[in-house]
Structure formats: C-alpha cells, structure tokens
Amino acid sequence: MRGQLARSIGKTVPGRLGCSALSSRQQGASARRQPRTVPSAARAESQQAGPAAAEKQAEKEEPQRGHQAPQNSAANLEATDPEILAYREHQQTAARISLAEEARTLVALGKFGVLSTNARGELEGYPSGSVVEFAADSKGRPVFAFSTMSPHTADIKKDGRCSFTVMAEPFRGIADGHVTLIGKAAPISNEEERAAAKEVYMSKHPSSVWVEFGDFGLFRMNEIVSARLVAGFAPSGKITEEEYGAAQPDPVAPFSAPVAGHMNADHAEATVAMMKHYVGITVSKAAIMSIDRLGMTVSCERGQDQFKARLPFPRPATDRKSIKELIVEMTRAAAVAQS
C-alpha cells in the first residue's frame, strides 16, 4: 500500500533516503529558472589565467551556483523517486511504541548493565562505573547484589546518586537501543522488601548462589528521576520520572529474538515482499531487528543505501501466537500483491 507523494517532508530518517525531498525539488526548480549568462570580459581574462582563476571569477558572478545540486545528482533523483517518497510518508506515521515503553522493555529484558556511582577517597568527585548483574522489579527499578567489599557498596551508602545504562541484547553497536537511568540507589533494609527483591533477582540469575552469603547485600534504584533513551529506531529522547513509572514493558518483546531469527533464517524473501507491499519501497535485503506489539523494525538494503524501517502490524499483537498469525497474514497479502 503505497502512500501518496509527500507534500512536505520535515522529518528525516537515517541514510540518504532521509534527505528532504522538498528542498531538493526547490533546488532543481531554482536551477531551471536561472537564465543563461554570457561570460563577462573579466571571466574571459580569468580563463586565460587558468582554471582556478576562472572558477573564482564565475563564483563572483553567479554566487548561487555553488549551492545548487546538479540536475542528475543523487539528491535530485531521490527527490522524485516515487518509492522513496512513499517510504518517507509511510514512516512518518508508522505505529511504534513510546520512548517510555521502549525504555521499560529494555530494562525488563536486561540482565547486565553499567552502574556508575560517585567515587570516594582520592577519586572523590569522579564517576566510578562497572558492569554489574541486575534484575528489574515490577516498577522497572533495577535490583543489584553487591559484596560488602564492592566499591559500589560504600559509594551508594555515602551518596546514592548514580546512573545505570542498559543495552539491548544482542548489542552490536551504538545504533542499537540503550537507555540510561538517572536516580538514587540504596540498600534494601525492609525484610519483606528484601525477600521480594531477592526473588526477583534470583529469577533472572538463578546461578548466583552467592547472594545467599552473609557478606552480600541487596540494593535497588528506588528513585529514577530521569531516563535517556537511544532507541533502535525511534528518535532519541528524555523520559520523565512520571512517564517511566506509568509505562509498562512491551508484552511481546520477549518473543522478538526467536521469531526474528526464524524469519531472517528461513523467510527473508517474505520480509522483502512485505516492505514492498506495506511500505511501498523495493529493497534487495530486509532483516527483522526487533518485534514489539505494534510491529517490526527492519534493517534494509537498497542499492548502496542501508537504513532502518518500521513495518507495523495491521493490529496489535498480544502474544507469540498472535505475532505468528499477523506475520503469516502480512506475508500472504504481500505474495498476492506480487502475483
């Protein structure tokens, strides 16, 4: 289902496909409106002086020339390519989960992260970061288990302010989703809360039997005052304490990796066909990066361009079975459209 040609493209996406179609069109029209000019005597003299002098004189006489895209440039060609225009228009309104939901999902699925506390002693005033195990409770608060000898234990007891970064799994590079929580951590002193936190932690790390040892304590980020998300597809942004607390992890995200892996290994051509049918753009390769209840994030190749695209579901998914049913439905519709 191709979208109509975009009237105004204000929002861009990664890669050359994100260039503004409107500005390129205006440049092309401007270039066509420019009258032919007769070389001046000064330019004729500069041509005799050499190419560099001639170019400099031409720029003086036609200052706007250096800001015009050549008629056959990639920018002008893309600005009139109906598939690229359809892709841009589709992506502007493609359904995707909110930044807060994506942050909660990353934290809920994560097992490891980078905790940075405020160092003490000779390094006081500097951040002290290290990779630690964690598990998130039902409110999205990270729970940690630290030895009494861990620097983080003493740091947190003196100053609970900290930041905690969680990355999507598998994390291949900075383009993949990651979120940093900023807030305060503290030891869990209440016996009932400690028992509940221990259950949460052990459910994520069942082999961490040392949590039972007497010299280990449980800690939790009780206050999350802000979060900063760099999403796999959505724009980066700040998430408030209220937004983070009100959001919930995506219910189908735990099934993302196995379903995407199966599709990429056995049905990659179906994803290519779905991109053509639903997004309106022909791609040579398409691999599903992640799946949530509203759709799929797809890594695509088109010529020399590599870019990400959002491929929404016709309706929200609720579980693994519904993901399969939706993808089968979309695959069949794309196949019928191609036949």
CA distance 76 to 65: 15
pLDDT at 32: 45
pLDDT at 50: 61
Q: Which of 27, 11, 7 is nearest to 19 (CA)?
A: 11
pLDDT, one tens digit per residue, over 179-225 is 999 999 999 999 999 999 999 999 999 999 888 887 899 999 999 99
pLDDT, one tens digit per residue, over 256-287 is 999 999 999 999 999 999 999 999 999 999 99
Q: Rounded to whole angstroms, what are the CA distances from 51 to 40, 55, 57, 64?
A: 15, 6, 10, 19
Mind listing the domains of the chain with CATH numbers? 16-81 (no CATH), 99-249 (2.30.110.10), 254-338 (3.20.180.10)
275, 128 Cβ separation under 8 angstroms: no
Confidence band, pLDDT 50/70/90 cuts, at residue 70: low
127, 321 Cβ separation under 8 angstroms: no
